[in-house]
Amino acid sequence: MEIKKFSKQKNGMYLLSLETGIDIKVHEDLILRYELLLHRKIDDALLEKICQENQIYEVYEVALRYLKTRLHSRKELYLYLSKKGYENQVIDSVLTMLKKQGYLDDQVYATSFVHDRILMSNDGPNRIRRQLEECDISNEVITLALSTFDEELEKMRIEKIVEKKIKQNHNKGAMLLKRKIQSYLLELGYSDILIHKVLNGKKLVTEDIMQKEYEKLYTKLSKKYSGKELEYKLKQKMYQKGFSNLNDES
């Protein structure tokens, strides 16, 4: 078949118009490799071969557009291309090309991911590690990326979160508040040892909060109880709210 016309397209692609009336898109690398500009001839076998190889370039362009939105891990890109129905062999070839060209680098991705989570979330290092592990990032790469999230930074972030939680507290005693803050910080992925160290150095509840809760409960319970029974009920309810005693200020 004779190639009647070459029309330049975007991203290094050319539209080839064949004498049979068929138009095919071919990457310029393949045009040069098979000297199509020189010979302007193509048979069925070569056409099939070019179409197969050309798919790699098509998938490559799709992958590049996806990577332009933000950095992605190898696994994320693989899953994205798989969902589009491309063959695994083609995807692997494209991922290899992108890695060689520096567009796909799990170390760069992991480092950027850690930086973003530090700036844009309250996540601790353990949660960030789990998130990166879900992307099939190696332990060595993750450890290197998390090296910026040192103990000093982790403690500072714990301090900030604890102070915020203390200020937001209006009705919980020290025991209950401490458990809730500890549970919250562990879920965020912070070190249990550092959490305890910070919490143990904080005054979690003021006398004012304790007094207000006591007065509120007294007003409610005194309508139903009196004497020793009232005193017992008050202690019971205060304890349930996390106040260990009526002088709980720690």
pLDDT in tens, 99-147: 999 999 999 999 999 999 999 999 999 999 999 999 999 999 999 999 9
The two structure tokens encoding residue 104: 């796909």
- The string of pLDDT tens digits covering residues 10-59 is 778 888 888 888 888 888 888 888 888 877 888 888 888 888 888 888 89
The neighbour count for residue 154, using CB atoms within 10 Å, is: 19
End residue of a domain, out of 70, 100, 130 = 100
**Residues whose CB falls within 8 Å of the CB of residue 96, separated by 6 or more in sequence, listed in order:** none
Buried b (16+ CB within 10 A) or exposed e, 10-34: eeebbebeeeeeeeeebbbebbeeb
- Indicate if 79 and 165 belong to the same structural domain: no
Residue 28 Cα to chain centre, angstroms: 37
Q: What's the domain range around 188?
A: 151-240
pTM above 0.85, yes or no: no
Beta strand ranges found along the chain (DSSP E): 3-8, 13-18, 23-27
CATH of residue 56: 1.10.10.10
In a domain, 248, yes or no: no
Domains identified in the chain, total number: 3
- Indicate if 134 and 165 belong to the same structural domain: no
